[in-house]
A and B are shown apart, each in its own frame.
Chain A
């Protein structure tokens, strides 16, 4: 199967692309949020 020459590819690939982008954003945002506040808490608790 040729992944890049499939019928309705103009609908299928954007669907997968948007899904991958949203997952990447969710993972990055969730990890950043958790790390940021954990560092903040650890800095404050050392003072």
Chain B
């Protein structure tokens, strides 16, 4: 049996797969988001956070996907750098804007939650600062790719940057344990099980799955676009040489 990643490494097979998978993930994301938002807005107020608990249902999934997207960027960059695989390079290029958007959402929604709960929009705290660094890494990756005319060189340079930036992921995750932080520790992955009642945990998990499906759908659409662009430019080059 051929493992899925190797099977999809063929661009033609990838195009056939993504043609139905992208809308399917998109529809799944919409269904999960409707269910998650309904349960999120009908859940009772939290005894400490009050109504602002509702921001958690969009903040936590955005932060999770911001980090997950960087894992995807790192893996795709590694495969592109080591095996010079076109599809992996296209996947890395397509991933960065999505990762930047989800990180932006995590920062903005976190700030909107922090103002009423902590009394401040921003604090140079280890968790918040490391997530800001993640956002800057995404921007740097995109800027580096756009700065060189030679796409192959730009891809390799950006892949190295992406791999160096992977060191920021454990820093983000463990920042609340390594340093004194205003940000709370792990809630879902807490020792002894999730430190959250089911009435909040269920909508949170539904929203996390909705964000994951949305990311999957958008990533597939963007990779397809990137492959079409490369094919179109190859044809343009061929026509120019003829």
Contacts and interface: CB of A to CB of B under 8 A. Distances in A.
B127 interface: no
Nearest to A29: B97
Prevailing SS type, chain B contact patch: helix
B52 A12 contact: yes
Prevailing SS type, chain A contact patch: helix
Interface of A: 1, 3, 6-9, 11-12, 14-16, 18-19, 22-23, 25-27, 29-31, 33-38, 40-41, 44-45, 47
Interface of B: 41-42, 50-52, 54-55, 58-59, 62, 97-98, 101, 104-105, 108-109, 112-113, 115-116, 214, 218, 221-222, 224-226, 228-229, 231-232, 235-236, 239
Nearest to B214: A23
A42 to B, nearest CB: 9
A18 B108 contact: yes
Nearest to A30: B221
A37 B221 CA distance: 12
A14, A44, A45, A47: which has the most chain B beta carbons within 10 Å?
Answer: A44
